[in-house]
Amino acid sequence: MSRIYRERKVNQPVKITEQDVEQVALFSRLELTEEDKAVYTESLNTILDYLDMLDKLDTNNIEPAAHVLSFKNVFREDKLQSSLAKELVLANAPEEEAGCFKVPRIV
């Protein structure tokens, strides 16, 4: 489960294998058929090849921009505010019991 990803360094493109796709599918909580695995391995490699063009660009002294505006943390007064009624929140639940979302057994 905790197989370490092979590290992909800049300017050292790495092809991903079906085992990598299996691993990433698990992280993504997706279930793939054998056929899916082959298809996604090929299509993800096509995309990764395309993304390798970014290696042409020297970005050593560039700051990363996760956002374009300089946001500050947003605070509000710690006062009680109204929220949605419990029935409304649970109305879309696939399964509920005693005012809670019900899930299959976990342990």
Partner 1 sequence: MRLYNLSVFQLSELMEKKEISSEELTNAYLERISQVESGTKVFVTLSKGTALAQARDVDQKRARGEELSPLAGIPMAMDDNICTEGIKTTCASKILYNFIPPYDATVAERLKGAGAILMGKCNIDEFGMGSSTENSAFYTTQNPFDAEAAQGYISGGSAAAVSVGEAAFTLGSDTGGFIRQSAASCGVIGLKPSYGHVSRFGLISTASSLDQIGPFTQDMTDLALVLNTICGHDVKDATSASVDVPDFTKSLVNEVKGLRIGLPKEYEAGVEPQVAAKLQEAISKLEELGAICEEVAMPHTEYAAPAHYIISSAEASSNLARFDGVRHGLRVEAEDVLSMFKKTRSQGFGAEVKKRIMLGTHVLSTGNYDAYYVKALKVRSLVKQDFDRAFEKFDCLLTPTNPATAGKTGKNPNDSLAMHLSGVCTLPVNLAGLPALSLPFGMVDGMPVGLQLIARHFKEETLLRVGYTLEQSTNQTRPKPGLFLKYNIHRG
Find the binding residues for partner 1 in span 4-23 (CB under 8 A).
4-10, 16, 20-21
Shortest reach from residue 101's CB to partner 1, in Å: 5
Find the binding residues for partner 1 in span 51-80 (CB under 8 A).
51, 53-54, 57, 59, 62-69, 71, 74, 76
Nearer to partner 1, 78 or 92 (CB): 92
CA distances from 24 to 15, 18, 28, 40, 49 (A): 14, 10, 6, 11, 18
Measure the CA–CA gap between 33 and 27, rounded to whole angstroms. 16
**C-alpha 44: how far from chain center:** 15
Shortest reach from residue 97's CB to partner 1, in Å: 13
Asked if 100 is part of the footprint of partner 1 (rule: CB under 8 A), the reply reads no
Beta-bridged to residue 96, according to DSSP, are 101
